Chain A
Amino acid sequence: MKTVYLCENSIEGILSGVYAAWTSRKGHANVKLGLIGDEDTMELFCQYEEVPVNAGHADKVVQAIREKISEEAYIVVYKAALSKERDRGDKIYRFLIYGFHLGAKVVHMLQVPEVFEIFQICRNIDNETHLLTGFVRFVEMEGDLLVSRIGPKNDVLVLLAPHFMDRLSGENWVIYDENRKKAVLHPALRPWFLVDLISSEWEERMKKASDEDEYEALFQCFRKSISIKERTNPVCQRNHMPLRYRAYMPEFSHGLKDS
């Protein structure tokens, strides 16, 4: 009978799940990794088992990946754990089976379907991170605080933070992920940290600050005058800047399209 290991939605949770499934010695075909809280339909003739987060176990898996596969493979696994993919846990497990078998070269073996899946996940998350390094918009609030709101599909906050930490090292800034209700906080000249944030009062304040910011109006005016009328091409614009990002950008506060 198949056993589904339900793990918590975090890198540690997933790697604890990998450890539990691997060491159960039931055979790779007989185990599967799921996520707690995932609204997937339950399978018949399956045994469900919840795996508590165990930092020690997760650490062992990390060590094994770094030593027996490669540092690059660890980065790949870490990113995949942040993805929006629903069965990311299981995909990471399948990838690791090949990884421990083949060693460092596994990350380049795109002809293996399990590797390709992970490659695709990483590409998606890298692309979204890169786009967001450009599309994040800060609003200045009282007390020199820069606040930004994003709604990414993948959990890119931790990948985004180092970029802005390097760039805006002397500023106090916050990036708030609306979909996951968590935020990266960065006090000036200090390292950033991750917190869970659920507060609606916040959004009110942001909206108010945004209305008062004179530079927002200036930027809107700049965007308008920089475009060449004879070359208008909304499809090209949409390919480069999908509509879903625009809802969080002040220059599209009047509507998602340039009229």
Chain B
Amino acid sequence: MLIQEELNVQEKLEILSDAAKYDVACTSSGVDRKGKAGTLGNAAACGICHSFSADGRCISLLKILFTNQCIYDCKYCINRCSNDVVRTAFTPEEVCQLTIQFYRRNYIEGLFLSSGVLHSADYTMDLIYQTLKKLREEYHFHGYIHVKAIPGADPVLIEKTGFLADRMSINLELPTADGLKKLAPGKSRSKILTPMKQIQKGITANRYELMEYKKAPSFVPAGQSTQMIVGATGENDFQMMMVAEALYQNYDLKRVFYSAFVPVNQDSSLPALPGGPPLLREHRLYQADWLMRFYGFQAGELLSEDRPNFNVFLDPKCDWALRHLEIFPVEVNRADYYTLLRVPGMGVKSVKRIIAARRNGPLDFDSLKKIGVVLKRALYFITCSGRMMYPIKIEEDFITSHLVGEEQKKVWDIGSSGTFRQLSLFDDMNVPALTDLRGVRL
């Protein structure tokens, strides 16, 4: 292992942020905290993006590894111990200085600190704890901190860190225990889930404590999150969604992130992805994730054992609506909140506006458009005062063909980023789901 001792901060930052970039959790949301006079920082519940990198992902936190030295040999990871890359580590002082100085200039919303496992899980967790302690207590930093809990670390250390951080996360990495065994031999399912359970319990206990004593220190106030890699192993979308649902229900997670697998290592156990990372699949998973968190859907409604993967041509909500045409069309001026939420083209914001606006008089299609409803999708599924926008057959094939035409460009944009190809009149995008399409007229 090549360990460089005399790197300057810029070189270290380059190496250690490069190594952290595959972690997708960059949100700074979930906690509202007022600033304290004379000290630096506050936190906004909505989260604030400070910049966007060339790949279109937001930069809101200073996302770095503490060190990229690691004892594990996870096949998909650039920092696995068998890789010959330059290894280095920050000192707690350097991390604090970078965070404070970036924060003052409004470059970032806070710190995201992860780390490779150096010597042992306990040793690494302690380093992270010392850094956070310095940042919070010596530098009086009140901004957002997202920190990784190292699987297998001492629960006491995790708890102490939790009182300093806003959000903690432990990456599940792969949705099934088999996949984990195959690609991350050093980690096991129980090793990951134990600290997750511990943090969940800590948050619940802390909530009761805060009810009684307002001044009690808060434990991981922005909740915990996790991340799964999409497309590194053979799991289908249904399995991914079931795991995500279980995590939301049993572990009270705030977010599950999905990260399209980017092959950084050559390894026989990793899939070759000639078409680039599975971005469209990742996109569909996120869409479904939103449906579960904000729209009251369940994983079992969107997918099933027989149809384990998302439709490539349609977003999950449209797909669901087309299979449940019996409940449509919905009357906008009467339907309740949850029914409206299930109409394609309507989101949480527009439904709330509809409910507020219709108290004062009926809505027509024109006002729906103003309110923010995407009529090109919604018009097949709604009536306003008993009328549809156009005379439309409520028939699966008819609506599918119209919706697919509208979605096609988006699918193309996401699925083939960076590559250019002649579009063909006949479908040659080697889509295996063509049989699922139920008579789309191409």
Contact = CB atoms under 8 A, between A and B. Distances in A.
A232 B55 CA distance: 4
Interface stretch (A5-13, A15-23, A48-56, A220-228): A220-228
B51 interface: yes
Interface stretch (B66-74, B356-364, B393-401): B356-364
Interface stretch (B96-104, B157-165, B237-245, B294-302): B96-104
Interface in B42-60: 42, 44, 46, 48-60
Given A221-B14, A232-B418, 19 more contacts: A105-B360, A111-B363, A111-B370, A137-B107, A138-B104, A166-B34, A169-B36, A169-B37, A188-B38, A216-B105, A221-B10, A226-B59, A230-B262, A231-B56, A233-B55, A236-B52, A240-B49, A240-B58, A258-B53
Nearest to B277: A230
Contacts, number: 171
Interface stretch (A25-33, A127-135, A179-187): A127-135
6 contacts: A134-B49, A138-B104, A170-B38, A218-B98, A231-B55, A258-B53
B55 A146 contact: no
Contacts of B17: 222, 225-226
Given A139-B105, A166-B34, A237 B53 contact: yes
B55 A237 contact: yes
B351 to A, nearest CB: 13
A217 interface: yes
Contact of B48 (A111, A133, A239): A133
Given A215-B105, A241-B52, A111 B361 contact: yes
Interface in A200-225: 213, 215-219, 221-223, 225
Size class of the contact patch on chain A: 35 or more
A134 B9 contact: no
Chain B binding surface SS class: loop
A134 B50 CA distance: 4
Contacts of A233: 54-56, 417-418
A218 B37 CA distance: 28
B19 to A, nearest CB: 9
Given A109-B361, A134-B49, A138-B106, A226 B21 contact: yes
B279 interface: yes
B337 interface: no
Between B48, B53, B276, B367, the greatest number of chain A beta carbons within 10 A of the residue's beta carbon is seen for: B53
A111 B357 contact: yes
B417 A222 contact: no
B52 A240 contact: yes
B63 interface: yes
B60 A134 contact: yes
Contacts of B109: 134
B290 interface: no
Contacts of A139: 105
A134 B53 contact: no
